[in-house]
Each structure stands twice: as C-alpha cells, then as structure tokens.
Amino acid sequence: MRLIAVIALGAAVAGCSTIDPAPKLKAANDAIAAAKAAGAESIPAANDLLTQANKYLGTAQNLIKDGDVSNAIRNLNLASRATPRSPPPRPPRRPGPIS
C-alpha cells in the first residue's frame, strides 16, 4: 500500500513540474509585434530594447528545443519586459479657478 502511495506521489510531483511555455511564448511574440507596430524600430532607444527582446526570444526558443523549459520561461519573461512601452496617459488637466 505504501509503495502505491509513493508511486502516486511521485507521478503527481512529476506532473506538476512540467510547465507549458506556450502562453509565455505567445505573450513575448505579441509584445514584440506590438512594439514593431508602434514604430519602435525607428526610435534608437526603443530599437535597442527591441533587439534585446528578440535575442531573449531566440534564446528561449532554443532552450525550449533543448528541453530546458524553466530557463526558457525566464528568457521569455525577459523578452516581454525588454519591449519598449509607451508612457502611461496623463490625467486630464483641471481648469484653474475662475476670477
């Protein structure tokens, strides 16, 4: 009975340890595509970030092929974060007092 419990626990742990990188891969690709669509390639600082994001994405894709999913996800997170973002919108101006 104990042997069955140990085998079941081992299977559960092994099943939980696999992580699907597909959502992170899609998010990184979407972030890079959005940056390109916003014209990041024509702004030097943004283009540098975009280049770095593409490097992280390429590294992640190679790691996925090699079966190193945890490091691939780390690189996918870095790729998503390295994409240039537009600044948040400013709040509307309040009119001053009327004199």
| Cβ-Cβ contacts under 8 Å for 53 (sequence gap 6 or more) | 28, 31, 32, 35, 78, 79, 80, 82, 83
Question: What pTM did the predictor assign?
Answer: 0.68
Residue 9: pLDDT band (50, 70, 90) is: very low
Instruction: Tally the C-alpha atoms within 13 A of residue 49's C-alpha that lie toward its C-beta.
Output: 21
Containing 76, the helix (H) or strand (E) segment is: helix 69-82
**What tens digit of pLDDT does each residue of 14-36 get?**
444 578 999 999 999 999 999 99
